[in-house]
Amino acid sequence: EAGVAQSPRYKIIEKRQSVAFWCNPISGHATLYWYQQILGQGPKLLIQFQNNGVVDDSQLPKDRFSAERLKGVDSTLKIQPAKLEDSAVYLCASSLGLVAYEQYFGPGTRLTVT
Amino acid sequence: AQKVTQAQTEISVVEKEDVTLDCVYETRDTTYYLFWYKQPPSGELVFLIRRNSFDEQNEISGRYSWNFQKSTSSFNFTITASQVVDSAVYFCALSEPGNTPLVFGKGTRLSVIA
């Protein structure tokens, strides 16, 4: 079974530029998550989708971050414009359902904002 | 509010030693779920175990074992006869019922030296 796919793996941009990350979850997983992991910390949830609907985006900085999951499968996370403090690893995860199911993570995208 | 504390930032052991990673959690719910994830240098979080709050039995899986104690709100993880391949950052996480996000601790970096 294929795991969670993410691209790109690495991205370097200058502040005020925009960037987009892509995620394809495990087939059949209805729930998709985007996390931000700053160096030395645990992942922090940015947004959670159930199929193509948003379940929780309370910690998403909506003035600059946006995400969509068209057709309830793959998803895109965008940052526009980027700030220095956005430098982090962006992890995508998927699970069968919302509650108590283990989440399976992709390899992440390491973003460096200079 | 949910909180997960991993007081050990870094641990270094010699191969074949046993090592225990501590996890203390806070929650107001009587129903909750605890997880451990491993993050090797490649960056992908790997699911290790899920335990619900009503199951206090300890679990053993090969060289891995978990000790869940509700009385002390702890869910500790022991690796027996550690190996170099166990070197990674280990995260403990907590989830409550409903659409609440998975909350991670800050992680413990384990280095196993040959």
* Unique residue bearing structure tokens 């009587």: B30
- For A88-111, b/e burial (b = at least 16 CB within 10 A) is bbbbbbbbeebebbbbbbbbbbbb
In this complex, which of A42, A99, A106 lies closest to B106 when CB atoms are compared?
A42
Q: CA nearest B13: which of B83, B66, B63?
A: B83
- Residues B14/B113, Cβ–Cβ less than 8 Å: yes
Helix (H, G, I), strand (E, B) or coil at A87: coil
Q: Which residue of A has its CA nearest to B10?
A: A40
In this complex, which of A43, A55, A100 lies closest to B95 when CB atoms are compared?
A100
Q: CA nearest A35: which of A89, A112, A114, A104?
A: A89
Residue A100: pLDDT over 70: no
Q: Which of A50-54, A105-109, B11-15, B65-69 has the lowest mean pLDDT?
A: A50-54
pLDDT at B19: 98
Question: Is B105's CB within 8 Å of A42's CB?
Answer: yes
- Residues A88/A77, Cβ–Cβ less than 8 Å: no
- Residues B51/B36, Cβ–Cβ less than 8 Å: no
Q: Does A57 touch chain B if contact means CB atoms closer than 8 Å?
A: no
Render pLDDT for B64-112 as a digit per residue (tens, 0 to 9).
999 999 999 999 999 999 999 999 999 999 988 776 778 999 999 999 9
Question: Is A100's CB within 8 Å of B106's CB?
Answer: no
Render pLDDT for B13-70 as a digit per residue (tens, 0 to 9).
999 999 999 999 999 888 999 999 999 988 889 999 999 999 888 888 999 999 999 9
